[in-house]
Amino acid sequence: MIRKASLKEVPEIIDKYNRLIRLMPGSDNDAHWTVGFYPDEALLVEHVKNGSLYVLDDGQILGAAVLNTDCIEDYDSIPWESPGPAYFIHLFASFCRGSGNGRKLLEGLKEEAKKLGAGCLRLDTIDGNEAAMRFYRSCGFKDLGRFKLDYDATEIEDFEVFEYGL
């Protein structure tokens, strides 16, 4: 089941993100996140406080993601196809790759977005993160192509952008 994360869970969640980040370099699933920088504990606390950090929980935390209406300014130049209102998925992570938990988390986020009144979901991933791109396509997200996006957390600019109409 997916639910909102609590403040007391943040240390466990950041530990799981950090373990995942250490496995990324050289893989086909490298989001180019950095331990201690992005994501960091302060960012997760902020998302918990504003109610946007969700976890997949079956007695233990199996995945996490942010679901909110926040996006970078560069998103305004993307030719989106689905009508809004749009919700955005950030920091999507299944902590047990290949287990089906990523799909469960994403399906739960779709349902939560519908409850919140979203018309679509939008997300991006760093160009070259082949596993994530395959995964999002397999979950029904439409690949809208590669765009230059300016994120403070990385010097990388090329991102693949996805959208899912609800």
- The residue extents of the domains of the chain are 2-165
DSSP 8-state symbol, 84: S
For residue 45 the two structure tokens come to 């606390």
Residue 98 is predicted with a pLDDT of: 82
Residue 90 is predicted with a pLDDT of: 97
Ranges under pLDDT 70 in the chain: none
Three-state DSSP state, 93: strand
- Got the DSSP string for 58-73? SSSEEEEEEEES---G
What is the residue-averaged pLDDT of the chain?
95
pTM of the model: 0.95
Residue 42 is predicted with a pLDDT of: 97
Residue 152 is predicted with a pLDDT of: 80
CATH architecture of 2-165: 3-Layer(aba) Sandwich (3.40)
